[in-house]
Amino acid sequence: MVKIGITGGIGSGKTTIATLLKDRGYPVYIADSEASVLINTHPSIRKALTDQFGSSLYDKGVLNKKKLSDIIFKDKNALSLVNHIVHPVVMEDFIAWSQQQRTNLVFFESAILFEANLAAHFDVIICIYASLQTRIERVRKRDGISPEKVMERIKNQWSDEKKCQQSDFIIYTDRDLDINRQTTEIVKRIESKYFRSPESI
């Protein structure tokens, strides 16, 4: 089984590519969504977070996201600590999930794959790339926020250029590009590399 990481900055088009892969029958693990579940349900995460930030971080068993956001905003070291607590559990969950799949390829989508030092867990990494103008417009429309607010979020992540430099493949998602063709070609190249028939060797 080949484990493939999908990354890219906010508004780059990761969700579109993940949906495209799912529609083709490939399993895709959405790290952000799964982390949100694990933060509320996994005992080791809950204990570590409450030990660090106090029991009031959870309200009736549910994480108080605003309180955690306020803590992180005031203390930059807190974000690193939260990531150190959450990301190893997410990777454990992903590995267990992968073992339940019945496909040659499994995908893991995360905007902060490199920032969280998760790259070593994957055989292949695909960077999803769009121009800065396209990303700002997408997020502005999606979240109903100003371009300035979008830029604040973008600046909190690695640049797409930096992510793509460290990736094996790039999918360009600006409006006039054929993402179906790009995705098909990349998947074929990965399958060809890892699952060549004896006759082709």
Binding residues for ATP: 11-16
Q: Which residues are annotated as a binding site?
A: 11-16
Which of 115, 138, 104, 110 minimizes the C-alpha distance to 126?
110
Residues 186 and 43: their CA atoms lie apart, in Å, by: 38
The DSSP line for 27-96 is: -EEEHHHHHHHHHHH-HHHHHHHHHHH-GGGEETTEE-HHHHHHHHHH-HHHHHHHHHHHHHHHHHHHHH
Structure tokens at 147: 């371009």
Residues 143 and 131: their CA atoms lie apart, in Å, by: 18
119: CB partners within 8 A, 6+ apart? 5, 113, 125, 166
Residue 151: CB atoms within 10 Å: 14
C-alpha triplet 122, 22, 15: angle, nearest 5°: 75
